Structure 1
Amino acid sequence: MYVTISSVRFALCGVGGIVLLSGFVFLTCIDQDNARHSFGHSEGFKCPLVPLLPITCILINSYLLISRGGAAWLRVSVWLAVGVIIYVFYGRTHSSLKDAVLVKDAQVDNTTSLLA
Structure 2
Amino acid sequence: DGKIYQTANLNKLTIHAGNANPYSVSIEVAGLSYDKNGKQTWVDVDHWEDVTDKQARSVACLLVALVKKYNFTYEKVHFHEDLCNKQRYEGRLVWIAMKKYLPNPPSGNKPTPYRNSKLILDPRFPEG
Higher Rg = 1
Where is the helix percentage greater, Structure 1 or Structure 2? 1
- Using structure 2 for the length normalisation, give the TM-score: 0.27
Higher share of residues assigned strand: 2
